[in-house]
């Protein structure tokens, strides 16, 4: 365990200098070259002696690798997509396992390296087709309701742990559990991605995973102390909290939108990317690539503004839409949609288009 902790300390420190670099590897072979250039001798030795299953600590950031993978357009991401690997953590593990083989002078067979992860991708894809009904996801049993949660928690916590929790106040347990135990509930029981347990809570009127785990935590403490669960009361509390939060967010959005009025001149923020490398470099290197537009219509219900472009610093104009070619979640159909192809839409001077208001900076600098 000491070795594992050390390796991630080294990774976080030694890879920091390369974070944000513009060049990224285009394939697994090139990741070796990049890591060799950035790694210290001590890090290399630790990678060599660490078991594969311990190469990744899910709670730590491997900054240079993450920077490659965070860039959806990077060469290494395109490589993985072509190979059929989409899971972020799988990509991290493959890169480090490949690097370990290189450091150990072992022969590298990319097909064999990718095979177990491709099998998992296929298995998980099949699981996802029935994730709201199946009892197991990602190798973890998913409780069907609150009582089943208690059974599962009882099975993996020792009596001494339950005694300690029982002696805490409900609020103490809630505070101590939210980022540790609560997070494991949200992740392992697939409350973010959707599962039969999340559906159980959805049917009760609870939609946010934090609120689901909060009810589980509070209820388990009451269960241990032989107190009434008061599930309906808890559900009502979170529903009221969510409603009040939405009202506050709506008011905040309305206040910001009110500063965008017809006739105002705005500066474009390039939230959908750049039409050229030159435009990108000018914008970031000296803030000298400014596009301006004038508001000609407003949609207060959807927080949209219709803007007429009056100035650009590139004859190609600006990008106002880019689907990135990646899946997106459709709130109406509640399904993930994969675009048939990459679509980028541009506009030039004197053309008009509807925008979400936050794509532009108004004159007050808001």
- Quick: pLDDT tens for 261-304: 999 999 999 998 899 888 888 888 777 889 999 999 999 999 99
pLDDT above 70: residue 156: yes
Cβ atoms of residues 295 and 354 within 8 Å: no
Q: Can you state the percent helix, strand and coil of the chain, rounding each to 5?
A: 50, 15, 35
Cβ atoms of residues 135 and 141 within 8 Å: yes
Q: What residues are paired with 64 via a beta bridge?
A: none
Rounded to an integer, what distance in angstroms lies between the CA atom of residue 24 and that of residue 154?
47
pLDDT for res 365:
45
**Domain definitions of the chain by residue range:** 2-128, 136-253, 265-361
Cβ atoms of residues 271 and 324 within 8 Å: no
Task: List CB contacts of 165: < 8 A, sequence separation 6 or more.
Answer: 157, 173, 220, 221, 224
Q: Token digits for 231?
A: 């599930």
pLDDT digits 0-9 by tens, 29-43? 999 999 888 777 777
31-57: b (≥16 Cβ within 10 Å) or e: bbebbeebbeeebbebbeebeeeebbe
pLDDT band at 245 (very low <50, low <70, confident <90, very high): very high
Across residues 310-338, what is the average pLDDT?
Answer: 73
pLDDT for res 329:
52
pLDDT for res 72:
79
pLDDT digits 0-9 by tens, 250-261? 999 999 999 999
pLDDT for res 14:
43
pTM above 0.75, yes or no: no
Question: What secondary structure, in 3-state letters, does 23-73 show?
Answer: CCCCCHHHHHHHHHHHCCHHHHHHHHHCCHHHCCCCCCCCHHHHHHHHCCC
Q: What residues are paired with 308 via a beta bridge?
A: 294, 352
Cβ atoms of residues 134 and 144 within 8 Å: no
Q: Bigger pLDDT: 89 or 350?
A: 350
């Amino acid at each position: 365990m000491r070795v594992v902790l050390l390796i991630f300390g080294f990774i976080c420190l030694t890879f920091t200098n390369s974070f944000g670099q513009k060049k990224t590897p285009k394939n697994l072979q090139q990741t070796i070259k990049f890591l060799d250039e950035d790694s210290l001798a001590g890090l290399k030795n630790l990678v060599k002696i660490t078991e594969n299953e311990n190469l990744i600590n899910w709670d730590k950031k491997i900054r240079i690798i993450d920077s490659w993978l965070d860039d959806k357009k990077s060469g290494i991401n395109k490589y993985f997509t072509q190979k059929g690997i989409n899971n972020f953590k799988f990509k991290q593990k493959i890169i480090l396992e490949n690097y370990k083989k290189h450091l150990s002078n072992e022969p590298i067979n990319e097909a064999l390296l990718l095979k177990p992860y491709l099998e998992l991708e296929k298995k998980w894809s099949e699981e996802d087709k029935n994730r709201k009904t199946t009892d197991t996801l990602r190798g973890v049993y998913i409780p069907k309701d609150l009582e089943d949660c208690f059974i599962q928690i009882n099975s993996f916590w020792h009596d001494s742990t339950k005694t300690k929790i029982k002696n805490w106040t409900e609020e103490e347990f809630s505070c101590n559990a939210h980022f540790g135990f609560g997070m494991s509930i949200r992740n392992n029981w697939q409350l973010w991605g959707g599962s039969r347990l999340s559906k159980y809570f959805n049917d009760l009127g609870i939609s946010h995973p934090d609120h689901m785990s909060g009810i589980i935590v509070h209820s388990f403490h009451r269960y241990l102390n032989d107190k009434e669960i008061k599930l309906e009361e808890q559900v009502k509390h979170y529903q009221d909290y969510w409603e009040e939060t939405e009202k506050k967010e709506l008011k905040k959005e309305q206040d910001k939108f009110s500063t965008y009025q017809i006739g105002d001149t705005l500066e474009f923020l390039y939230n959908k990317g750049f039409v050229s490398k030159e435009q990108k470099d000018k914008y970031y290197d000296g803030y000298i690539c400014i596009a301006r537009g004038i508001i000609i219509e407003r949609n207060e219900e959807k927080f949209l503004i219709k803007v007429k472009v009056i100035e650009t610093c590139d004859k190609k104009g600006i990008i106002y839409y880019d689907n990135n070619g990646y899946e997106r979640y459709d709130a109406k159909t509640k399904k993930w949609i994969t675009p048939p192809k990459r679509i980028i839409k541009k506009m030039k001077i004197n053309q008009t288009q509807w925008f979400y208001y936050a794509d532009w900076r108004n004159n007050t600098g808001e």
